[in-house]
Structure 1
Amino acid sequence: MKNKVLIVAVHPDDETLGCGGTLLKHKANGDEVHWLICTIIDKAHGYYKTRKKEIEKVSTLYGFDSVHNLRLKTMQIDEYSMSELIGKISKVINEVQPNIIYLPFKGDVHSDHRKIFEAAYSCTKSFRYPFIKKIYMIETLSETEFAPSTKEDSFIPNIFVDISEYMHKKLEIMRVFDSEIAPHPFPRSERNLKALATLRGATCGCEYAESFVLLKEIN
């Protein structure tokens, strides 16, 4: 049975940082993969047209089956009511009807990530969304590692995916987001992306891996 996957990316590039290799692996296995982008920069911003082209190119490189954009104001998610966010996300989830969903980590330091997690997780109740069978939280460099170092907010992965065959293409896709990467020690450098994948790979016995927190699995 093929899966239908939905990745909830608060900002374009979160999907690649957090689970790019895993998404490529899903596609290689014949699964449907759908991309939900939550935010967009203002049209008045000089980078608007460039970002639009980046999104189009990234979508092609992954071969996403559909792309959705809520067009929320980036870095201003706290201006929206929770009911409005839930309504917008729920509409996409009901349209796609994924059995696997990837969400941002609930403890990410960026408030946009935390708000979107809260709204999206509200859209996974089994009696309203019975098609959702697996819910994961992703690890996003520059956000997840800066969460408070408390038991409640620490990212403690319990699922590991071997992405050794897909690491090169993950880096290729990340390069499309030219303004989002910079040399080490910037968190989103290629060196750090490989370092994190190497660490996660060492945990599960492969060259490169991505890690996740499994929130729910229904068999």
Structure 2
Amino acid sequence: MKVLVFAPHNDDEVLGVGGTIAKYTQSGNQVIVCEVTSGSNENIVKKIKKEALQAHKLLGVTETVFLDLPVVNLKNLEVDKLNASFLEIVQKVKPDVAFIPHKGDMHIDHYEVAMAAMVALRPVNNPQLKAIYAYETLSETEWTIPNAENAFMPNVWNDITNTFTSKVEAMKCYQTQLQEFPHPRSLQAIDALANLRGSTICVNKAEAFMCLRNVL
């Protein structure tokens, strides 16, 4: 099975789907991660990309794709060009399952990635696609304006008790992004969220998602 994960920024995929990615790869599935944006400072970009590749290696990611689109400026790109870049990846991978950011997140890039991904993942072009899930991202999902449209309402949980250590080790690779608690992008906050989501389904650790499409 092929699993495609869209990450607006480097580390979003680990924060939202890290344990699930490891669980998929350990079961023999292929996981392709598409990192959508990068900054303008070449030295920092190189460092973050190196961190991403190290993290993905720990998680068993099959392939990492860097689109190198401008961070914070996705909304200023021509819509047809943005959608085309996503469509190219989807047509190449032909995923069976896809994970995208929650469209209600505070960062505008998350919204733009979610919408472009949904265009590329339309069922008319993807008969093989069985499920699309939206994931939560610490410091983006919980910090957004609280209203019904923005709310992240999980209806799918994945037990990551056995792969949580892999998620933590992958996040440690992102030294440019990792913060000290009480910042949400800290190891303690990641642990706390995994405990909360796990307690919802009576397991030690879990990741939660919103099911956007499921074909039985």
For Structure 1 versus Structure 2, the TM-score category normalised by the shorter chain is over 0.9
1:96-124 per-residue CA deviation (whole Å, 9 max, x = no partner) reads: 00010000001000001101111111112
Gaps of 5+ in 2: none
3-state secondary structure, aligned to 1:165: coil
- How big is the shift at 1:62? 1.9
The two structures, once aligned, show a CA RMSD in angstroms of 1.1
Indicate the larger mover: 183-192 or 205-214: 183-192
- How big is the shift at 1:133? 1.1
Distance 1:132 1:86 in 2: 18
Does the CA contact (< 8 Å) of 2:3 and 2:96 recur in 1?
Answer: yes
Q: Which structure 2 residues correspond to residues 132-211 of structure 1 after superposition, within 5 A?
A: 132-211=129-208
Distance 2:166 2:63 in 1: 20
2:86 to 83, 89, 105: 89
Q: Is 2:52 the counterpart of 1:55?
A: yes
Distance 1:55 1:22 in 2: 16
Corresponding position of 1:24: 22
Q: Is 2:38 the counterpart of 1:40?
A: yes
- How big is the shift at 1:12? 1.1
Q: Is 2:15 the counterpart of 1:14?
A: no
Corresponding position of 2:2: 4
- How big is the shift at 1:45? 4.3
Distance 1:178 1:190 in 2: 11
Identity value in percent:
33
Q: Runs of at least 4 residues of structure 1 off by over 3 A?
A: none
TM-score (structure 1 length as normaliser): 0.95
Distance 1:126 1:46 in 2: 39
- How big is the shift at 1:16? 0.2
1:9-58 per-residue CA deviation (whole Å, 9 max, x = no partner) reads: 1111010000100000001111111111101122x344233113212212
Q: Is 2:108 the counterpart of 1:111?
A: yes
- How big is the shift at 1:131? 1.6
Indicate the larger mover: 72-81 or 151-160: 72-81
Indicate the larger mover: 153-162 or 52-61: 52-61
3-state secondary structure, aligned to 1:145: coil
Does the CA contact (< 8 Å) of 2:55 and 2:169 recur in 1?
Answer: no
- How big is the shift at 1:205? 0.7
Q: Which amino acid aligns with 1:169?
A: S
Q: Which amino acid aligns with 2:156?
A: I
Q: How many matched pairs?
A: 216
Q: Quick one: structure 1 residues 47 and 137, their matched pair in 2 at CA, closer, same or farther if it must change by over 3 Å?
A: same
Corresponding position of 1:122: 119
Q: Which amino acid aligns with 1:214?
A: C
3-state secondary structure, aligned to 2:142: helix
3-state secondary structure, aligned to 2:171: helix
1:51-94 per-residue CA deviation (whole Å, 9 max, x = no partner) reads: 13212212321222221111101121112122111100000000
Gaps of 5+ in 1: none
TM-score (structure 2 length as normaliser): 0.96
Does the CA contact (< 8 Å) of 2:56 and 2:170 recur in 1?
Answer: no
